[in-house]
């Protein structure tokens, strides 16, 4: 079958093509993370249900699917910092990092702060998180979310990630890179794709610079995760293949809690390193959430 442009070029790598095409006409499910730094999980659930929310536990700790999407950013629980609305798949890069309390963590492309605040929550607000973003306007949202959720272990920097100089190495590094966002694409009532980004930015070049910088700031023995919310192998596997050629990086397999597929090892006639199969792909029609890609990388 034919997918709408520009998704039709992925027909050979998308599993369940008919189901994927059908799902484009349906909105993505809303999810919410409960912020246990502010209150116990049971207390937040009780308050949300008192506000009329209907919630269902997911396979990921603190994440719930929720109805009444309009309530997510207007209710008292949100205003008090008890909740953070986020796609369930956006929690996966943080889980793959295997973060521990007391560690040093770098979030190279942090704003608006969903993954940053998730990391701080797992760490129990201990250790240190350096949250960087190059866009000054997005720093405002990042700072506001850190303050609203009561997080104190995070330092915010405003710099192009490729040029960040920290004077230290980190136990964990997250490079949730800017991307074309194809995992968010939906069809409107007229059959046109929404959430498409305009412009002619050379995203793969930016992504390769970011992943190399992230790896260089990783301490020996540390873990880095590279992630995007796009389907395009040029922004995913090709970027990791570039890193493997330039650095002594090692790809590690990871068992996600959601439906997943292996990374592709060739695309448009280009053969990648066979270990690219250890990357993980997530599709919206199988998870009910934003499509995602991640690679878990170890520095030996």
Residues forming beta bridges with residue 132, ordered by sequence position: 157
Interatomic CA distance for residues 114 and 142, integer angstroms: 9
pTM: 0.96
Q: Which of 77, 109, 179, 229 is catalytic?
A: 229
Interatomic CA distance for residues 61 and 91, integer angstroms: 10
Contact indicator for 75, 44 with CB cutoff of 8 Å: no
- The closest of 98, 153, 147 to 130, measured between CA atoms, is 153
What domains appear along the chain, each with residue ranges and CATH number? 88-299 (3.40.50.150)
Contacts of 137 (CB under 8 A, 6+ apart): none
**pLDDT score at 111:** 98
- The closest of 71, 47, 42 to 57, measured between CA atoms, is 42
Q: Is 229 designated active site? A: yes
Token reading at 22: 């059908």
**pLDDT score at 177:** 98
Profile the chain (300 residues) by mean pLDDT over runs of 10 residues: 85 95 92 97 95 92 83 84 97 98 98 98 98 95 98 97 95 98 92 80 96 98 98 98 97 98 96 98 97 97
Contacts of 61 (CB under 8 A, 6+ apart): none
Sheet holding 55-57, edge to edge: 55-57, 63-66, 31-34, 83-85
- The closest of 206, 120, 99, 112 to 161, measured between CA atoms, is 206
């Amino acid at each position: 079958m034919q997918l709408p442009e520009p998704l039709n070029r992925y027909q050979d790598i998308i599993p369940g093509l008919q189901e994927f095409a059908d799902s484009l006409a349906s909105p993505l499910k809303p999810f919410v993370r409960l912020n246990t730094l502010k209150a116990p999980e049971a207390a937040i659930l009780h308050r949300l249900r008192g506000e009329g929310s209907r919630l269902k536990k997911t396979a990921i700790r603190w994440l719930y699917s929720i109805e009444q999407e309009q309530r997510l950013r207007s209710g008292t629980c949100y205003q008090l910092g008890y909740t953070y609305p986020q796609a369930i798949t956006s929690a996966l890069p943080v889980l793959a990092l295997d973060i521990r309390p007391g560690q040093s963590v770098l979030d190279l492309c942090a704003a608006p702060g969903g993954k940053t605040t998730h990391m701080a929550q797992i760490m129990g607000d201990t250790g240190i998180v350096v949250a960087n973003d190059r866009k000054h306007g997005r720093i405002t949202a990042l700072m506001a979310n850190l303050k609203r959720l009561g997080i104190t272990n995070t330092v915010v920097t405003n710099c192009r990630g490729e040029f960040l100089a920290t004077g230290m190495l980190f136990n964990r590094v997250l490079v949730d890179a800017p991307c074309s966002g194809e995992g968010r694409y939906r069809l409107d009532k007229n059959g046109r794709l929404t959430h498409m980004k305009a412009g002619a930015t050379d995203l793969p070049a930016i992504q390769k610079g970011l992943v190399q910088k992230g790896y260089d700031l990783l301490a020996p023995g540390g873990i880095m995760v590279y992630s995007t919310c796009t389907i395009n192998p040029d922004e995913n596997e090709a970027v990791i293949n570039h890193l493997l050629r330039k650095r002594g990086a090692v790809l590690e397999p990871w068992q996600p809690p959601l439906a997943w597929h292996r990374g592709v090892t060739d695309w448009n006639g280009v053969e990648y390193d066979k270990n690219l199969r250890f990357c993980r792909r997530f599709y919206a029609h199988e998870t009910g959430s934003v499509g995602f890609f991640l690679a878990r990388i170890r520095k030996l």
